[in-house]
């Protein structure tokens, strides 16, 4: 085991897969000589060179379109989009081509492509660089959507995503890049579609993912000192959702909080809440509680930005009210 940041772990997973499979390559803006917007791909470029770490023009539509074509011809492209916000420029090749071609050709054509992108706020980079629009992709049949929250999961899931024969949207939260945990030195994968219980608890199921996991765990620690035990579930995969793990937990605790950074309306939390109501209604002692980002574009000012992102205090307050039947 080696202590790694999430950035290092994802880089390690990418490098290992590129050594294992010569069909894997990286394509995107400034991924080569510049090394990537946060420096993730720089060491990979130094090892593999321009042939397998390819800089592109500033055109997300072109980058993703090239990735779709390469995947159809048998390669395994890893497409990097600097910020999730920019993916709006490439929705057609993702939604209308990558997600559908395997189905439309009866399995004769596969699109084994990974699209990596940075999500979330917290760095004061304003409304066009701070969005969390993962629910857009989770709505589309034919796509898989992954959002790791730890270094261990980051490495294991990037390897699984590259080996998958479907297009995988791989979401990396900016603020998680510097978080660290132990990562196995040996080859391993984390299964797509399987949630993970990061903390066992008996009182309330707290279901979350990506950048909200550290806040969920911090809230759980604070509440444990009051005798309230949260069970913290990290979804890890947003499509397909691991409904079995969610249901099993909620049926034991009888209470549920769903937490995400994206705005409340039509978010992942709405889908999880609906699943709970359909599959565990008779076990609930209270309505499902949703905690989410405010319904406004992300402000540039750091003080204002902090007001729209869920906090540990919000989670703690909601859990106390839920436990006390308020």
Q: Could you list the pLDDT tens digit for every one of the 326 residues in the chain?
A: 999 999 999 999 999 999 999 999 999 999 999 999 999 999 999 999 999 999 999 999 999 999 999 999 999 999 999 999 999 999 999 999 999 999 999 999 999 999 999 999 999 999 999 999 999 999 999 999 999 999 999 999 999 999 999 999 999 999 999 999 999 999 999 999 999 999 999 999 999 999 999 999 999 999 999 999 999 999 999 999 999 999 999 999 999 999 999 999 999 999 999 999 999 999 999 999 999 999 999 999 999 999 999 999 999 999 999 988 76
Report the alpha-carbon distance of residue 311 to residue 307 in Å, rounded: 9
Structure tokens at 92: 């057609």
- Homologous superfamily (CATH) for 2-183: Thiamin diphosphate (ThDP)-binding fold, Pyr/PP domains (3.40.50.970)
94, 82 Cβ separation under 8 angstroms: no
The reported pLDDT for the residue numbered 326 is: 64
The reported pLDDT for the residue numbered 325 is: 79
pTM over 0.75: yes
The reported pLDDT for the residue numbered 119 is: 97
Name the residues annotated as catalytic: 60, 129
15, 47 Cβ separation under 8 angstroms: yes
Structure tokens at 225: 């000192």
Report the alpha-carbon distance of residue 256 to residue 32 in Å, rounded: 44
Report the alpha-carbon distance of residue 53 to residue 68 in Å, rounded: 16
Which residues lie across from 181 on neighbouring strands?
4
Q: List, by residue range, all CATH 3.40.50.970 domains of the chain.
A: 2-183
Q: List, by residue range, all CATH 3.40.50.920 domains of the chain.
A: 196-323
The reported pLDDT for the residue numbered 49 is: 97
Q: Domain 196-323 class? A: alpha beta
The contacts of residue 289 (CB under 8 Å, 6+ apart) are 256, 257, 258, 318, 322
User: What DSSP line would sit under 189-257, residue for residue?
Assistant: ---TT--EEEE--SSEEEEE-GGGHHHHHHHHHHHHTTT--EEEEE--EEES--HHHHHHHHHHHS-EE
């Amino acid at each position: 085991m080696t202590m790694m940041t999430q950035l290092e772990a994802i880089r390690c997973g990418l490098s290992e897969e590129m050594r294992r499979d010569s069909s894997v390559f990286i394509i995107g803006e400034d991924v080569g000589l510049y090394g990537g917007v946060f420096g993730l791909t720089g060491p990979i470029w130094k090892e593999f060179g321009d042939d397998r770490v390819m800089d592109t023009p500033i055109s997300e539509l072109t980058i993703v379109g090239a990735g779709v074509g390469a995947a159809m011809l048998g390669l395994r492209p890893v497409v990097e989009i600097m910020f999730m916000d920019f993916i709006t420029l490439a929705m057609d090749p993702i939604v209308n081509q990558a997600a559908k071609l395997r189905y439309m050709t009866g399995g004769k054509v596969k699109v084994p492509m990974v699209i990596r992108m940075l999500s979330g706020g917290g760095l004061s980079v304003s409304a066009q660089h701070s969005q969390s629009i993962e629910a857009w992709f989770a709505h589309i049949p034919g796509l898989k959507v992954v959002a790791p929250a730890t270094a261990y999961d980051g490495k294991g899931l990037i390897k699984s995503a590259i080996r998958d024969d479907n297009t995988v949207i791989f979401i990396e939260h900016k603020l998680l890049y510097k978080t660290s945990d132990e990562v196995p030195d040996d080859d391993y994968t984390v299964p797509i579609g399987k949630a993970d219980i990061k903390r066992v608890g008996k009182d309330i199921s707290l279901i979350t993912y990506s950048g909200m996991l550290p806040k969920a765990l911090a809230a759980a620690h604070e509440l444990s000192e009051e005798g309230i035990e949260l069970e913290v579930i990290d979804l890890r995969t947003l499509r397909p959702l691991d409904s079995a793990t969610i249901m099993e937990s909620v049926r034991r605790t009888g209470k549920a909080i769903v937490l995400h950074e994206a705005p409340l309306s039509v978010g992942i939390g709405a889908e999880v809440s609906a699943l709970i109501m359909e599959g565990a209604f008779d076990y609930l002692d209270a309505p499902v509680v949703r905690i989410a980002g405010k319904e406004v574009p992300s402000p540039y000012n750091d003080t204002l930005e902090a007001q729209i992102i869920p906090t540990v205090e919000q989670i703690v307050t909601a859990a106390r009210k839920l436990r006390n039947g308020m």
